[in-house]
Structure 1
């Protein structure tokens, strides 16, 4: 998302960032048709990802590109929601064409629409599967009840849940654990929230480097961001964080989170509701 929204880098830097991720062994790229800045440029990030993959010069058949539909950005900084079956079907087909694929590898419903019955939106995902427009589906910004209902409708075709989860925002713990029990990948969005705060209850705390994440990162000789991603990877075997990046150096640092092993005592400190002194 940072490659296409406000304060985005130029295309050369954006492509270099994607290539750095691929060089580091990253095999999942998460995008959405609503990742853009200005009105009238829907699909900016999908087009960018497709270009970056085409320019890589090496085999990318093992890379899963996941995209999302059901949200919009009018260009004034706001977000809209449209998860009607008709819109989702049009959006998925448009995403497929922008990505230049026969079928979208993973298509995710970006957010439930309060004006549309949940079963209707999920049913549209089933129709996209049956039509061959997408190969697998996921859901995002959902409750535990919505996960259960979607799983009942979609069965094994439902493979992922994408909710906000980070050191600062842990409200989705029930959904994370439910996804693990169902064998669904859990993709925390905005996974680094709270790393630069002394109060991990939200984004309003004073900036500080005196948190358990910073202290333990120092012990390991790594960045707090890398440590935060390592903590997420320890939350459950099905957790796959999706940190954003706009520079090659950032994504390379994130990719090395897989190298960090955290001990039981460290995890207890990091899992405390407040990770300050």
Structure 2
């Protein structure tokens, strides 16, 4: 496994997005735990979760509790595993996603997340999404308070613009270590945010890094794993999966990038982890620009 850094912490170049283990159509707990263990066995040391990763009403924190149980049951050393969780979104149980970045809510949410994860301080806590009803500086100020109180060790922000990153950086200083936006071979509207993160030394954590390939909006020639694309052709030559090629492409974009592909099966985790070892040639990278589509607007209904 190759490693990259979030602030001064070395983590695996490929993380585990744990959301599929707790939302709609989630696997049973045995398979979910096996998926987490497979990630750890493959060298993954970065796990992404959130208090809103659940399915039914009344089970907030389902994913955090699941991750905590999986780590407790793992037979090996987990001291180097960084768990990143998020607060500021909710799920009432009807399939929708709500937003609440009120400072008081964020502070209570972080304390509850720490308790569910069984830690004294959360390694990385990220504001899940800006709340249009709350001034951005006030939401980010809550992260500053959490850092000062020792509830969290580092802060991140998600689903943000370059202007919001700059404001957060001014408020949080070195306490801001990461940005988590949607970014993939097929969805590249966060290129400005990626460039800014690279300049500021912030980790850039793409969510849905495979372009949401199960979504109908990405059907067609822009799909990174569609037959006939460069991803498919190069994968066939390399003898690997197109998903590995897509993740390797993401890693090539900047040393700040740490993709967090979601998984609900051990085989998927093992396949994704192997992408960290792939080195794409300049000739291979040049092929992608002709086949990768760009989605103009972020999907605002998820994450």
Same-fold call, TM > 0.5?
Answer: yes
Once the two structures are TM-superposed, the CA of residue 196 in structure 1 deviates from its matched residue by 7.6
Give yes or no for contact 1:186–1:240 (8 Å, CA) kept in 2: yes
Identify the residue that residue 11 of structure 1 maps to in structure 2.
29
Once the two structures are TM-superposed, the CA of residue 205 in structure 1 deviates from its matched residue by 3.0
- Written as runs of structure 1 = structure 2, the 5 A alignment for 1:187-266 is 187-193=205-211, 202-205=217-220, 208-266=226-284
Helix, strand or coil: the match of 1:40?
coil
Q: Higher relative CO (CA 8 A, sep ≥ 6), structure 1 or 2?
A: 2
Identify the residue that residue 108 of structure 1 maps to in structure 2.
126
Once the two structures are TM-superposed, the CA of residue 57 in structure 1 deviates from its matched residue by 2.0
1:125 aligns with 2:106: no
TM-score normalised by structure 1 residue count: 0.95
CA distance in 2, matches of 1:34, 1:196: 21
Helix, strand or coil: the match of 1:139?
strand
Gaps of 5+ in 2: 1-18, 294-303
CA distance in 2, matches of 1:271, 1:38: 41
Cα 1:49–1:268 change in 2 (3 A) is same
Once the two structures are TM-superposed, the CA of residue 270 in structure 1 deviates from its matched residue by 1.5
CA distance in 2, matches of 1:213, 1:194: 15
- Written as runs of structure 1 = structure 2, the 5 A alignment for 1:28-67 is 28-67=46-85
Helix, strand or coil: the match of 2:145?
helix
Give yes or no for contact 1:168–1:195 (8 Å, CA) kept in 2: no
Give yes or no for contact 1:195–1:213 (8 Å, CA) kept in 2: no
Once the two structures are TM-superposed, the CA of residue 268 in structure 1 deviates from its matched residue by 1.5
CA distance in 2, matches of 1:15, 1:245: 11
CA distance in 2, matches of 1:25, 1:66: 17
> Matched residue pairs, number?
272
CA distance in 2, matches of 1:12, 1:27: 20
Cα 1:260–1:17 change in 2 (3 A) is same
Identify the residue that residue 193 of structure 2 maps to in structure 1.
175
Cα 1:119–1:196 change in 2 (3 A) is closer
Helix, strand or coil: the match of 1:68?
strand
Give the 4+ runs in structure 1 shifted more than 4 A: 194-197
Deviations 1:63-121 (A, max 9, x none): 00000000001111100000000000000000000000000000000000001110000
CA distance in 1, matches of 2:289, 2:139: 35
Aligned alpha-carbon RMSD (Å): 1.6
Cα 1:8–1:195 change in 2 (3 A) is closer
Helix, strand or coil: the match of 2:93?
coil
Identify the residue that residue 12 of structure 2 maps to in structure 1.
none
Helix, strand or coil: the match of 2:20?
coil
Helix, strand or coil: the match of 2:56?
coil
Give yes or no for contact 2:230–2:291 (8 Å, CA) kept in 1: no
1:269 aligns with 2:278: no
CA distance in 2, matches of 1:245, 1:273: 25
